[in-house]
Chain A
Amino acid sequence: MPKDGGIGASTKRREDIRFLTGRGVYTDDLNLHGQTFAVFCRSTVAHGKIVSIDTSATEAMPGVLAVFTGEDFKDVGGNPAGWLINSRDGTPMREPKRPVLAHGKVRHVGDAYAAVVAETYAQAKDAAEQLAADTVIDELPAIVDMKAAVADPSNRVHDEIPDNLCFDWGWIEDNRAAVDEVFKSAPHVTTLELVNNRLVPNAMEPRASIGEYFPGTGDYKLTTTSQNPHLTRLLIAAFVMGIPENKLQVVAPDVGGGFGSKIYHYGEEAVVLAAAKKLKRPVRWTAERSESFLSDAHGRDHVTKIELACEKDGTFLAFRTETLANVGAYLSNFSTATPTFLHGTLMAGPYKVPKVYVNVKTVFTNTAPVDAYRGAGRPEATFSLERVIDKMCRELGLDQFEVRRKNFITPDMYPYTTPVGLVYDTGNYHATLDKALEMTDLAGFEARAAEAKSRGKLRGLGLSTWIEACGIAPSNLVGVLGSRVGLYDAATVRVNATGNISVMTGAHSHGQGHETVFAQIVAEKLGVDANSVEIVHGDTAKIPFGMGSYGSRSLAVCGSAIDRAMGKIIAKGKKIAAHMLEAAEGDIEFKDGTFSVAGTDKAKTFGEIAFSAYVPHNYPLETLEPGLEETAFYDPGNFTYPAGAYLCEVEVDPDTGKVQVVAFHCADDFGNIMNPLIVEGQVHGGVGQGIGQALCENTSYDENGQLTSASFMDYAMPRADDVPFYNVDYSCQTPCTHNPLGVKGCGEAGAIGSPPAVVNAVIDALHRGGYDHVTHIDMPVSPARVWAAMQKH
């Protein structure tokens, strides 16, 4: 049994109390003395030349304090791409400048070209409407479709980029010829062309930022909706505005969800800081939902052709893919890593496939930037693999479960080096598949299908056996691959003089429950009451330099840093205890919060050691510094590799094409589990988003680049009655071999594994209903698409 409140306990979340009583403090909840309000003018055309912006009438309006345009920021830096990717021929990627405010041209609907600051929000809003009326933008032809963007290089998103390509990437290029050879002689080849639909992350809290400037010290403060305040500070300081890093405090208070969209630095953050300096007053901005749709980084948007070469018995010989990946009008911070090193490297799945080649062309279009969204590249890889495998099984009449089993990497093969450059440290894919089949009651499926048929519904079963890579690392490797930053994290464990503990983390919690889970880990390792441990995050003035939370990295990377810092605390505590107990340091044991001399009853409690460290009257001052506070940075030696098997059951209404997910079973291997309650919640949320992608959500631009799905009335977010209860199991555990907690990460799993399970289930239902001409339906598998697919005979 887990220790009370320690590792493995389903401890209730402490952060819930403030959220359930209306006392959370999100950015827009702050009301600062002397505050002003910013409203942005955004392009209503997808592509256009800014001819003139006449600010005179706007500046004369009531309450208006300042107007900013691209001209005001033309001499500061651009918002950079975080990864520099080389094309197949070795040439570096194209990185057009992403200005704070559009200058010269606007490149997508929603591209901000000006900002108005006024005394009240209503005045700023009115003034922004005036400024829009006084702005002349000559509309240019919009580049929306990726294939057209590449095919017609005469029309350019960026004048200096002739083919609208950011890069043409091959992974691994040296394997290309060998993979092609396999396909020439393969006994069977299955080909599938598919679209991984563009999604809008839609954290429920819209983005918001407040800039402050303190003339007395020259300090800036940015309160913002960020998943990684230090990264935002670094980008603003080092790349965009040139503010010394130590003169800028970035605070990400309570943040209402991120899912990737709040990793990135956005231009609005720079504008509110510049405006605060100019006005010497706080400047506050909060996005309306439609602004979020237009200007948040979107996700996915791949067009892929995947081929699977195999033996007639289903033994995989090779995968080969060609993908067009949309990056939108500008490169968001991780947009170049997402379709490459978070996608191509996963294209072996959990399978011992000998050869893989991945080609990705990233394309500029006149649409909002596209970047990492929950899963980020790994859902795209998983969807391609699991769909083409499903199609192959149908073509060859093979059992989908046996084909997976035949091709799984087996537990005796670790560490396993894939043909796409990863080394899986551990796993057991047979175990998770067996568990999922047990959960789904496979033997009872035919009876359930027959019962559904009696109600006029087609029931189908879909499988996805997925793997992902979390906690991207190590820094020296990602540096070789093009990353401009390191990917460690950091934690400071401060034992206070009175014995309670403050832990400052680089990781940021925006729903994950770090304040509870990290405290459980500290309680377990230091043998203290979890209630005496406070987790501090989200403020660069308080926390060590860490990289924040994304890519399911918080526990594996920052949790490991906390563990390492606690190790230093214990080591120092032993030195103090040895002095106080007049024993050799090597004889001191630490267990359950007590330092004792081995084999004796001489002992000091954790509290006594802490007190001695801060009131060092009986203390080895000649050899040991007072105080009990340690910082650790942790740079992982490898990714972690969560994996699992998802089984989805759907019912299709053949009269309408409407799909209902009626059961969803998840058997996951996340390694060791810190808090089962929170792990289940993470899986639920990921699967909910995956079902949303599979059945509901679609980001739709028309041929003119107008976003026709720019509100919750047009963009189908999954609602409570679109999803079922999920059946979640995490008992198959192969602990990560290279981090001290043995953890793998669970935040993205659901969003990665679920979409192909849903679509495979729909195809299965249609085949069982006699519609066996349907080989694929692109997501979202809407009633209209299902019904149309059924009609094609």
Chain B
Amino acid sequence: MTKVTLTVNGRSMSGEAEGRTLLVSFLREELGLTGTHVGCDTSQCGACVVHVDGKAVKSCTVLAQDVNGASVTTIEGMANEDGSLGVVQQAFQDHHGLQCGFCTPGMVMSSAALLAENPKPTEAEIRHYLEGNICRCTGYHNIVKAVLAASGQDVSALGVAAE
């Protein structure tokens, strides 16, 4: 076991990790941050996406010891300082971009990373960027719609608006 220290959502946090401990397991089991999910064992589903030093990564494909000292942002760190939903989170609620909620943390983290790189993505760019995040509930319509809306684009032709 080795001590691993990360800055998680702006706070320094430490825990013990075996050599084989994945970042996602470290976050969930050691640090108690269970918002990041495990949906597969082949780095396909994207439910575990977090930001490491500003980059979106699948935390099931990173060893905790390898990112010792890094700055990590998880879904728990995406709300505004006053606790209200951040822009991407709010767009997902406004446009019903989630159903069971299991893939949602990864979807939000990937979408936020996309918008940081590309503030006004096209529909095709969004669909391409989210290829590494699988959702079984939404058929992706409202996820893509939410990302378009979060980037300030008109989505009024894409279905009913929330009240």
Interface residues of A (CB under 8 A from B): 4-5, 9-13, 15-26, 28-29, 31, 122, 201-206, 254-257, 259, 286, 288-290, 510-513, 676-678, 680-681, 684-689, 691, 711-713, 717-721, 723, 725-726, 728, 750
Contact = CB atoms under 8 A, between A and B. Distances in A.
Interface of B: 18, 20, 28-29, 32-42, 44-45, 47, 74-76, 78-79, 85, 89, 92-94, 96, 98-105, 108, 123-124, 126-128, 130-131, 133-145, 158-163
A15 B163 CA distance: 16
Contact of A20 (B34, B98, B163): B98
B139 A689 contact: yes
Query: Which 8 A-B pairs give the minimum distances between C-beta atoms?
Result: A22-B35, A688-B139, A256-B102, A19-B101, A511-B100, A712-B44, A511-B99, A29-B34
Q: Main SS of chain A's interface residues?
A: loop
A17 B136 contact: no
A728 B141 CA distance: 11
Nearest to A4: B163
A290 B136 contact: no
Contacts of B134: 204, 712, 717, 719
B137 to A, nearest CB: 5
B100 A717 contact: no
24 contacts: A4-B163, A5-B163, A10-B160, A10-B161, A11-B163, A12-B94, A16-B93, A20-B85, A20-B98, A20-B108, A28-B38, A31-B29, A203-B136, A204-B100, A289-B45, A510-B100, A677-B96, A678-B96, A681-B99, A685-B137, A720-B143, A720-B144, A721-B127, A725-B144
Contacts of A513: 99
Contact of B131 (A18, A677, A719, A725): A719
Contacts of B99: 257, 511-513, 681, 685
A255 B74 CA distance: 21
A712 B35 contact: no
B101 A16 contact: yes
A122 B20 contact: yes
Contacts of A685: 99, 136-139
Given A21-B75, A721-B131, A256 B101 contact: yes
Contact of B74 (A12, A22, A680, A686): A22
Given A205-B39, A676-B160, A684-B142, 4 more contacts: A12-B163, A688-B141, A720-B135, A721-B130
Contact of B136 (A4, A15, A204, A713): A204
B127 A19 contact: no
Contacts of A691: 139
A711 B36 CA distance: 20
A715 to B, nearest CB: 9
Given A10-B163, A684-B138, A711-B40, A19 B104 contact: yes
Which of A18, A676, A712, A726 counts the most chain B CB atoms within 10 A?
A: A712
Nearest to B134: A717
Given A22-B33, A22-B36, A681-B138, A254 B101 contact: yes
Contacts of B143: 720
A21 B145 CA distance: 20
A4 B162 CA distance: 12
B96 A680 contact: yes
B102 to A, nearest CB: 3
Contact of A12 (B36, B37, B93, B108): B93
A255 B100 CA distance: 7
Contacts of A12: 93-94, 96, 162-163
Contacts of B40: 289, 711-712
Nearest to A683: B139
Contacts of B126: 720
A585 to B, nearest CB: 37
A122 to B, nearest CB: 7
A688 B127 CA distance: 14
Nearest to B158: A725
A254 B33 CA distance: 16
Which of A4, A24, A204, A719 counts the most chain B CB atoms within 10 A?
A: A204
Which of A255, A676, A689 counts the most chain B CB atoms within 10 A?
A: A676
Contacts of B161: 10, 677
B41 A289 contact: yes
Contact of A19 (B98, B130, B144): B98
Nearest to B20: A122
B159 to A, nearest CB: 5
Contacts of B47: 204
A257 B102 contact: yes
A719 B29 CA distance: 29
Nearest to A16: B93
A13 B163 CA distance: 10
A353 B159 CA distance: 36
A681 B142 contact: yes
A200 B160 CA distance: 31
Which of A4, A17, A687 counts the most chain B CB atoms within 10 A?
A: A17
Contacts of B158: 725
B100 A257 contact: yes
B72 to A, nearest CB: 13
A750 B139 CA distance: 10
Nearest to A14: B93
A720 B74 contact: no
B125 to A, nearest CB: 10
A689 B75 contact: no
Given A21-B79, A290-B41, A720 B98 contact: no
A259 B136 contact: yes
A22 B100 contact: no
Contacts of B89: 20-21
A350 B91 CA distance: 39
Contacts of B130: 719-721
B141 A726 contact: yes
Contacts of A20: 75, 78, 85, 89, 92-93, 98, 101, 104, 108
Contacts of A25: 34
Contacts of A687: 139
Given A511-B99, A512-B99, A713-B44, A21 B162 contact: no
B18 A122 contact: yes
Nearest to B101: A19
Given A21-B89, A680-B96, A711 B41 contact: yes
Given A122-B18, A204-B103, A289-B39, A717 B139 contact: no
B98 A11 contact: no
Nearest to A679: B160
A725 B44 contact: no
Contacts of A19: 98, 101, 104
A726 B139 contact: yes
Contacts of A257: 99-100, 102, 136-137
A204 B141 contact: no
Contacts of B128: 720-721
A12 to B, nearest CB: 5
A257 B103 CA distance: 10
A511 B99 CA distance: 4
A289 B42 contact: yes
Nearest to A676: B160
A511 B96 contact: no
Contacts of A201: 136
Contact of A205 (B44, B94, B102, B139): B102
Given A22-B74, A688-B139, A204 B163 contact: no
Contacts of A5: 163
Nearest to A29: B34
Contacts of B96: 12-13, 677-678, 680-681
A17 B85 contact: yes
B100 A713 contact: no
A711 B139 contact: no
A495 to B, nearest CB: 26
Contacts of B39: 204-206, 256, 289
Which of A11, A18, A29, A686 counts the most chain B CB atoms within 10 A?
A: A29
Contacts of B18: 122
B45 to A, nearest CB: 6
